[in-house]
Structure 1
Amino acid sequence: MNAERAENTARTVARAVERRDATDAEAKALASSLRIRILRLCLDEALSNREIAEATDLNPATSLHHVRMLADTGFLEAQEARRGRRGAREIPYLATGKSWYIDVGDVTNPMIEAFTAEFTAAPYEERTMGRMAAMLTEDEVEEFRSRIAELFEEFESRRSRSATRQWGLFIAMHPSSRHEADEPGVE
């Protein structure tokens, strides 16, 4: 188990080192909750523009605008053309995973909006949610973040297995807005 954890940590560190700042075009592409949702839809299954439009309740022309922006910036990759349900030629798109390796700056609102749309669309009985406040030292904050990153990496590496179902996961961590004067023992 320790060897596996060390391997996961090494993989996390390697990915952190590989991260680079996004170009303006890449940052703009990921500044939309809709485009973030499209990437999730195309993560494990190549979808045509028509299928993406249906899944996001968009008209195909609007969907195509977003798909093209993601493809032009390398977040989506066109796959081999196929025949659609009525025999029309369709080009399916698959997410490249590129967004894992770049830093796009603060995309907090689009990420939260994308998560909220996906979460509320899921059947209520299949949703899991929790919230907590934790009292942590600076070292514990770093340990917590590291362990979350390791857990993400571990489960991300399992994506290619058969008989699996994709589940969305959103984790956010922030310092509480309590004032120092409100802390116990501080007057």
Structure 2
Amino acid sequence: MGEQAQQAAFEPRPATDAEARALASGVRLRILRICLDEALTNREIAEVLGRHPASVLHHVRTLVDTGYLQALEPRRGRRGAREIPYRTTGKSWYTRTQTQGSSLLQAFLDEVAQVPPERQGMTRLGLRLPPQEMDEFRERLFTLLQEFHDRPRDPSAEPWSLFVALHPDTSLRRPPA
């Protein structure tokens, strides 16, 4: 089944306990990103992460068991060894979990640490909108993200990542009511 067909099969829904645990790891979130455009073996994933293949295999198995990663047909690797390539299924985009925040942040920090500062585009924005406008902002932002998520992926294009966090600003004093 192609990536677009797989993604169409997923409906946004809350994560099961096992799915929430699978997504509660920055390493596993990075594995999903690493295998988004290219099927990679456990050894190849470990090389990208700079980790030992045995420790990565536990994460890979957890992602396969929960349907976030798909094992493809085995192939011959270096020195003729049988290796299984893995590919992201797209399911994580449709799974909602409350325990994923720190994992998302850790994956982002690990990934952006490898990007030269001149290639990083970051900004912060403080908002002070009435509830109706805040709801509109959230809806329009999610609609924009969904629109670009649903576009066909161009394998020849440079890969980019986006991290969005929206939270109440605790650094400002609130005016008296």
Q: Does 1:74 align with 2:67?
A: yes
Q: CA RMSD in A?
A: 1.8
Segment of structure 1 superposing worse, 127-136 or 81-90: 81-90
Deviations 1:26-53 (A, max 9, x none): 1111111100110111111111101100
Letter in 1 for 2:142: A
In the alignment of these two chains, the number of paired residues is: 168
- Which segment is superposed worse, 40-49 or 149-158? 149-158
Q: Match for residue 146 of structure 1? A: 139
Q: How much does 1:179 deviate?
A: 3.8
| Residue of structure 1 in register with 2:39 after alignment | 46
- In structure 1, what residue type is equivalent to 2:19? E
* Residues 1:117 and 2:110 aligned together: yes
Residue ranges of structure 2 left out of the alignment (5+ in a row)? 1-7
2:27 counterpart SS class: helix
Q: Specify the SS of the correspondent of 1:172.
A: coil
**Per-residue CA distance 1:109-149 (angstroms, 9 max, x = gap):** 11101100001112222111101112211111111111211
Between 109-118 and 131-140, the greater mean CA deviation after superposition: 131-140
User: Do the aligned partners of 2:20 and 2:99 also contact (CA within 8 Å) in 1?
Assistant: no
CA contact (8 A) 2:37 2:155 kept: no
Structure 2 CA distance for aligned equivalents of residues 87 and 147 of structure 1: 51
1:167 has 2:160 as partner:
yes
| Cα distance between partner residues in 2 of 1:164 and 1:139 | 38
TM-aligned CA deviation for residue 159 of structure 1 = 4.4
Do the aligned partners of 2:72 and 2:84 also contact (CA within 8 Å) in 1?
A: yes
Quickly say closer, same or farther: Cα 1:167–1:159, change in 2 above 3 A.
farther
AA of the residue aligned to 1:88: A
> Aligned equivalents of 2:120 and 2:52: distance in 1?
28
1:155 equivalent to 2:152? Answer no
TM value normalised by structure 2: 0.87
Structure 1 length-normalised TM: 0.83
User: Which is further off, 159-168 or 52-61?
Assistant: 159-168
Partner of 1:77: helix, strand, or coil?
A: strand
Partner-residue secondary structure (3-state), 1:110: helix
Residue 162 of structure 1 deviates from its aligned partner by: 3.7
User: Partner of 1:106 in structure 2?
Assistant: 99
Q: How many Å apart are 1:83 and its aligned residue?
A: 2.0
Aligned match of 2:3 = none
Matched AA of 1:164: A
Contact persistence 2:26–2:106 (CA under 8 A):
yes
1:63 aligns with 2:35: no
1:33 to 20, 26, 39: 26
Name the CA distance, whole Å, in 2 between partners of 1:124 and 1:84: 35
SS at the partner of 1:94? strand
